Amino acid sequence: MTTYSFSPDQKMYQIPNRNATKKEIIKINMLCEKQKKRDKKIVVIQGLGFVGAVMGALVADCEIENKSKYFVIGIDLPSQDSFWKIATINKGNSPYKAKDPEVEKIFKRTILNKKTFLATWISEAYSEADIIIVDINLDVDKTIPGKVEETDVSIANFKKAMVTIGKYMNKEALVLIETTVPPGTVENVIKPILEKCFRVRNIDLKKNPILLAHSYERVMPGENYIDSIKKINRTFSAVNKKALNKTREFLNDIIDTKNHPLWELDKPLASEIAKILENSYRAVNIAFMYEWTLFAEDIGVNLFEIVDSIKVRKGTHDNMRYPGFGVGGYCLPKDPLLAEWASKYIFKRKKHLNFSIDAVKINDLMPHHTYDLLMKGLNYHIKGKKITILGASYRKDVDDTRNSPTILLYDDIINSGGKPKVHDPYAISMFDRKDIRIESDIDLSLANASAVIFVVDHAEYVNLSMKKIIKSLIAKACIVDGFNVLSDDKLYYLKKRGFSVLGVGKGHIKNF
C-alpha cells in the first residue's frame, strides 16, 4: 500500500518502500566510501527538526583551509509526519521558514553546490559515521495546561532511538547528544544502552569504551537562526578524555570559538543541568513578571515603560522580562519538568523543584489573561462573533508553532461561543493541532471581525496600518495588544476613534 507524507504547505511525497530502501542503502554506502577517499569525516545527524536540520547544513558548510572537512547525512523517519523533511532538504530547501536569509542559502549551498549534505531515512548510515549528533525530540506530554502533576515524561522512544544507534554505529564513533534531556540521562540511560549494544555485538568495551558527549544548543529560529549555532558560546562535557578531545575538536571547527570560547564541564550531568537551569531561569523570570502585569493594569500604569527604565542598570537588571501573552516553543514549557522528573526517577529524591514547577504552571495559563481582556473589551458578549488572532508561532518572524500559547486562547474563544480566526505570515499549520486552520491573507482575516488580538510581534503586525484596522473591523470593535505590538500613539489613535482598546501590562490605556 502506497502512503504519502505531507509537508505543512501540503506538498505530497511518496514514502519509500522496501525496494527504494535497499537502493538507498547501496547509494549511501557508495557516497560515504567516495567521501572518505577525499579525507572527509562523516557526520550523521539523528533528527531533522528545527535544530538538527540547520545543524546539519552548518556542519556541511564547514571549511578548514578552504576545504570541506565534513560530509553530513541527516536521518529522520520514513513516516507520514517526517518524510517530507527528507524530501524537502534533498531538493536544496530548508524544511522551516525563517527570516534569516542565510538559512535558505546554506541549504542550497551544501545540498546543490558543495554536495556535502543529504538527508535519508536508513539507519545503516550510522555505521559510516565518525560523529553522530543526536537532535531528536524527547517526549513531554502535558495533557492539561497548568496541571504539571499530570505531565508524562516519556523516554521510551528516545531510548529506542539510542538502541538504533548502538546497533549500527562504528565502535570508534563519537556520539554527541544535543537533545535537551533530564539530568543524568547521558550516564544513567544512554551510556548503558550503548554499552549493552556493544556487548551484543561482541565489541570489547575495555579496548573500545563508548565515546559519548553532551553539548547543548541554544538555537533561536528567527533572524539570527544560523548565528545562534555558529556564533554563540557552547558548554560541553563527555564521559571520558578521548570523547572530550574529539568533541572539543569538532566544536572548534563549526563554532566561532575565537570570539565565543567553549566552556568545558567535568561530566555530562553538569552540562545537562546547565541547559535545564538556563531555561528554568528564563521561565521563572517570565512567570515573576505576570503578577506585576496584573498589578500594573489594575492601577493604570505602563509596565513596559517601567521595565525599560530599570533595564538601564546593566549587569544586574538588563535581562528583566517584559509582560507578555504566554510562553511557547520547545524548551521553556517543559525543561523545568525534566529536572523534576530526573530528581524523582533517576536520583530518587523526595524534595521538589517547587519554584521552577510553579513557574511552568503560571506560564501555561498566562494566555487566559489575554482572553479575560478580550471578554472585558467585548462587554462579555462573544457568542457568534468573529475574533481574529494575529499570530500562531510562539515568537516573532518564525514558523515554529510548537507549544504555541495561541492554542489556549483559541480554545477559550471556541468554548465561549466565539468564532476565532488565526492568521500568521510565517506559520502554515499548528503543531499537533491540525483542527486549527492558519490563514495567510490578513485582509480576509481582519474583515468584519468584532475583535483583533495581537499575540506575536511579527514585523508585519508591528507595521500594520491603523487605517487598515479601522477599515476592516466592525465599528467599535475590541483591540487587544497581547505582546506590545502597538505603540502608544497607535493605541491612542484607535481609542479616540471609538474602539475598545486594552493591552497586557498596559494599564495606562485607561487614562487615554
Query: Read out DSSP for 284-323?
Result: HHHHHHHHHHHHHHHHT-BHHHHHHHHHTSTTTTTTPPPP
Average of per-residue pLDDT values in the chain: 94
* Distance separating alpha carbons of residues 164 and 201, to the nearest angstrom: 13
pLDDT category at 330 given cuts 50, 70, 90 is: confident
Considering the domain delimited by 284-511, tell me its CATH architecture: 3-Layer(aba) Sandwich (3.40)
Run of H or E including 14: strand 12-14
Q: Where are the domains of the chain?
A: 17-265, 284-511
Say whether pLDDT at 43 is over 90. yes
In this predicted structure, what is the pLDDT of residue 327? 93
Percent of the chain with pLDDT strictly greater than 70: 99
* Distance separating alpha carbons of residues 372 and 224, to the nearest angstrom: 34
Mean pLDDT of 422-431: 93
pLDDT in tens, 238-258: 999 999 999 999 999 999 999
Say whether pLDDT at 222 is over 90. no
In this predicted structure, what is the pLDDT of residue 143? 67
In this predicted structure, what is the pLDDT of residue 353? 94
In this predicted structure, what is the pLDDT of residue 2? 65
pLDDT category at 10 given cuts 50, 70, 90 is: confident
pLDDT category at 306 given cuts 50, 70, 90 is: very high
* Distance separating alpha carbons of residues 240 and 22, to the nearest angstrom: 37
Say whether pLDDT at 207 is over 90. yes
Domain pair 17-265 / 284-511, same fold: yes
For 233-254, letters b (16+ CB in 10 Å) and e give ebbbbbbeeebbebbbebbeeb
Say whether pLDDT at 1 is over 60. no
Q: What is the CATH number of domain 17-265?
A: 3.40.50.720
In this predicted structure, what is the pLDDT of residue 8? 86
pLDDT in tens, 342-388: 999 999 999 999 999 999 999 999 999 999 999 999 999 999 999 99
Run of H or E including 168: helix 156-168
In this predicted structure, what is the pLDDT of residue 483? 96
Mean pLDDT of 465-492: 96
In this predicted structure, what is the pLDDT of residue 221? 82
Distances (CA, A) of 247 to 56, 127, 386, 397: 16, 19, 54, 33
pLDDT in tens, 79-98: 999 999 999 999 999 998 88
Say whether pLDDT at 225 is over 70. yes
Give the amino acid at 137: N
Distances (CA, A) of 257 to 179, 231, 249, 293, 322: 21, 8, 11, 39, 31
In this predicted structure, what is the pLDDT of residue 243? 98
Q: Coil, helix or strand for 96? A: coil
Q: In this structure, are residues 176 and 213 in contact, taking their beta carbons and an 8 Å threshold?
A: yes
* Distance separating alpha carbons of residues 294 and 292, to the nearest angstrom: 5
Distances (CA, A) of 212 to 192, 279, 349: 11, 24, 26
In this predicted structure, what is the pLDDT of residue 142? 72
Say whether pLDDT at 141 is over 90. no
pLDDT category at 329 given cuts 50, 70, 90 is: confident
Mean pLDDT of 21-29: 97
Say whether pLDDT at 296 is over 70. yes
Q: Nine-digit cell at 43?
A: 557526520
In this predicted structure, what is the pLDDT of residue 139? 77
Mean pLDDT of 62-72: 94
Q: What is the largest CA-CA distance in the chain?
A: 78
